[in-house]
Structure 1
Amino acid sequence: MSGAAEITAGEKRRAYTGPAFLSHGFRPFFFLGACFAALAIPLWLAAFTHGYGVGGDPMRWHVHEMLFGYLAAIIAGFLMTAIPNWTGRLPVMGLPLFLFVFTWIAGRIAMASGDGILVATADSAFLLLLAGFAWREVLNGRNWRNLPICFFVSLFALGNILFHLESHLALPFGIGQRTGLAIAAMLMSLIGGRIIPSFTINWMKKQDRHPLPSPFGSFDKVVLLATGFVMIGWVAAPDRSGTGYALLAVGILHLVRLARWRGWSTFAEPLVAILHIAYAWLMAAFLAIGASILRPDIVSPTLALHVLTAGAIGQLTMAVMTRATLGHCGRPLEAGTGTVTIYALIFLGAATRIAGPFAMSDYALVMTISGTLWISGFLLFAILYGPMLFTPRRS
């Protein structure tokens, strides 16, 4: 963009006088996403342990809302903050941002009410709007490097639509869920592969630690390409042994990628270390899903999917939410005791959920403990970070 255009965008941003909560996308979507996660899990646990229904089919509602409800909100908060930084264009703020938030909330209300064409339409609108926003901003900003993000958000919206259509059009069972999870894995691989080595290098340089992590390069492109092909295979043929072996191979590639970032050198700064831990969950998810295809008697498909969802998605989204909130709200990029507690609660919640099938005690009790730990992390985020999200940035 031209300098004049950049100045205009900056002036418009500074001229905003509305509520701080609606000044950047990360503010409402991180806060509401965390609150929704803390609400949705107890509702699901109630359905699981006592048979209380929500959204018609409780299992279907749980799967959809954690993927296309919670994760969609965090993706929106991240992109509505990151894309203006990438393009130099004005962020969505004020009334337009409120309308995005309202559309997301309407989708959550609709999904809780049952099923049908009106529910599907209300729910699908948000991700379609988000995809449109991404395409408009990236294309108008001529930010060609981030076109893959636009494709992935569009495919994520398609996965949500397939989720609603699969029972009506005799589509393969679970294709909408797998499409959404595959895109989530690709977004974590792509965005994580950019920010994790970058933040790690910056921190290690300040600490004068060497050798530095390997920056994004040819090896990372190979890993992303391989992951994309394997994810297509998993969406199309989730039960084939070839898919299982391919997932194991991709998991090993991600392990090598993670090792190249030298995460073991960052544990003095939890705000950086948590990114490596979260990516380790993603690597473990590829291995677990592959193992569940080849040896479902040892690793159940449900367990494997929770490595990806409760583990990788839960940990990486929280790592991004805390860091982005601190940075964009003008706070020091340091993880205090409260933030470390948030990370620990989500990690323990995911680990307990995965260990549940192997526990000797009552399975419902283990599920309840797991859910309590996991949602406690999100509640603590809302309590500690909510005041930052509702108040103006510190100078």
Structure 2
Amino acid sequence: MTALKRLFSEGFRIFFLAAGLFAVLAMALWEHWIAAQALGQEAGFPAAAMPQHWHAHEMIFGFGGAALAGFFLTAVPNWTGAKGAPHRFIALVAALWLAGRLALWFSGGLPPGVVALTDLAFAPVLAGQLLEQLIRKPKAQQMILLALLALFWTANLLTHLEWMGLTGTLWAGLRGGLLTLGAMIMVLGGRVTPGFTRNAMVATGRDSRLPRNPAPLAAVSIAASVGVAAGYLAGLPEPVLGGLAVVAGLAGLARVALWRSGWTWDKPILWVLHLSYAANAAGFAMLGLAGLGFGSEIAALHLLGIGGVGGMTLAIMSRASLGHTGRPLVAPRAVALAYALLPLAALLRYLGSAWPEAHDPALLLAGGLWMAAFALFVLRLWPVWWAPRLPRAAAD
């Protein structure tokens, strides 16, 4: 098998590579525009959307969409025992994703309907493949992820409807899309974080004081977070959305408090899961408080987006890339450094939103840390995505 064909042989290879590269490129384009504005200069921007709207859309539906595709195309065959998608299908879905990114960037010279159709084609094709596999062994905890993917697509649709001049739903779509990613972390992160930690503890011979993950608390965090995401799309009143977000955040923080996070301090590939889940939950809680009149909504959204979604995607993408290529589940030093940079970026971006006088410097520094984190991720794992799976003996 050639290296190029291998890149499209499994979903995590091409899509985690694409997510990492796009995380750097899209942020660099946004940082360039911000820096030009701060210096009083004009920066060419070919997208039809306002730069801040393009930035938000592409971080959520561009970067987030690639990370989701890589995860789903890799995890679902493992869950169901079904054969993975053929490389031609993976190449097709990757091409659709890329076409959407190009359509958004050059949308200033394209009809809005064409841009919408191009960008919206990606998720339904992906969902069709996932449904075919999941329906063979349907389980509620897995089918909910397909429902969340549909919610994610609906949020993207709402952004395009406003750009087409049909509705006023841009902000609902952007918030709904980000919060759907946050809800997925409540579901998936709430499953794998305590599970991976428990497995690592048991492997050392420990059989007491293991992570606890009470089902009622999990149900509250998931139901409330999904309710917030769907509520934004449905236009629920702000106090209702705020209350649901606070409940989701507090339930999520209560869950992570039971997962023995302190035990993971010297194991970056584990503590990044705990820290990212906590940042995601804190983002929900702070967003809820902002909706009730306490604090900055933009600051809360960026804490959730950078620390929660960014951190958890980086954690899962790196772990899956190592594990599915037969390599030890130990974060390389460059990747461990990337784990540490994203919380700092989230903190800086939060401070920049909470204190307007520090906005531009904090935003530029936070963006720089984000780019550095994903550049380290791509550079260190680049050979892994192109190379064949290691034999078990080599992995051991």
* Counterpart contact for 2:11–2:70, Cα < 8 Å: yes
**Matched letter for residue 194 of structure 2:** P
For 2:14, the equivalent position in structure 1 comes to: 28
Relative to the length of structure 2, the TM-score reads 0.90
For 2:210, the equivalent position in structure 1 comes to: 212
For 1:73, the equivalent position in structure 2 comes to: 66
Larger CA deviation: 356-365 vs 179-188: 356-365
**Matched letter for residue 292 of structure 1:** A
For 2:279, the equivalent position in structure 1 comes to: 281
1:198 aligns with 2:191: no
Deviations 1:197-251 (A, max 9, x none): 1101101111234311114623312332233334433444466234323322322
**Matched letter for residue 55 of structure 1:** A
* Counterpart contact for 1:54–1:61, Cα < 8 Å: no
**Residue 122 to residue 216, structure 1, CA distance change in 2 (3 Å):** farther
Show the 5 A alignment for 1:222-241.
Answer: 222-237=220-235, 240-241=238-239
For 1:132, the equivalent position in structure 2 comes to: 128
For 1:40, the equivalent position in structure 2 comes to: 26
Structure 1: 5+ residue runs without aligned partners? 1-14
Show the 5 A alignment for 1:85-96.
Answer: 85-96=78-89
**C-alpha deviation, 1:104, in angstroms:** 0.7
1:174 aligns with 2:166: no
Deviations 1:277-309 (A, max 9, x none): 00011111011101222235xx22211110111
* Counterpart contact for 1:37–1:375, Cα < 8 Å: yes
Show the 5 A alignment for 1:1-395.
Answer: 19-50=5-36, 51-52=42-43, 53-56=45-48, 57-114=50-107, 116-143=112-139, 145-167=141-163, 168-209=165-206, 210-215=208-213, 217-237=215-235, 240-295=238-293, 299-357=295-353, 363-395=359-391
Structure 2: 5+ residue runs without aligned partners? 37-41, 392-396
| C-alpha distance in 1 between matches for 2:51 and 2:357 | 24
* Counterpart contact for 1:27–1:389, Cα < 8 Å: yes
| C-alpha distance in 1 between matches for 2:243 and 2:76 | 36
Larger CA deviation: 357-366 vs 111-120: 357-366
| C-alpha distance in 1 between matches for 2:133 and 2:349 | 39
Relative to the length of structure 1, the TM-score reads 0.90
**Matched letter for residue 223 of structure 1:** S
Q: How many residues are paired up?
A: 379
Off by >6 Å, runs of 4+ in structure 1? 15-18
**C-alpha deviation, 1:165, in angstroms:** 0.7
* Counterpart contact for 2:220–2:248, Cα < 8 Å: no
* Counterpart contact for 1:197–1:216, Cα < 8 Å: no
* Counterpart contact for 1:329–1:394, Cα < 8 Å: yes
| C-alpha distance in 2 between matches for 1:28 and 1:182 | 25
| C-alpha distance in 1 between matches for 2:353 and 2:228 | 27
* Counterpart contact for 1:18–1:94, Cα < 8 Å: no
Q: Percent identity?
A: 33
**C-alpha deviation, 1:142, in angstroms:** 4.2
* Counterpart contact for 1:237–1:243, Cα < 8 Å: no
The alignment partner of 2:212 has SS state of coil
Deviations 1:150-185 (A, max 9, x none): 111112111111110135222445121122123212
* Counterpart contact for 2:241–2:288, Cα < 8 Å: yes
| C-alpha distance in 2 between matches for 1:77 and 1:127 | 12
**C-alpha deviation, 1:138, in angstroms:** 0.7
The alignment partner of 1:295 has SS state of coil
**Matched letter for residue 254 of structure 1:** G
**Matched letter for residue 248 of structure 1:** V
| C-alpha distance in 1 between matches for 2:307 and 2:382 | 23
Larger CA deviation: 159-168 vs 187-196: 159-168
* Counterpart contact for 2:239–2:292, Cα < 8 Å: yes
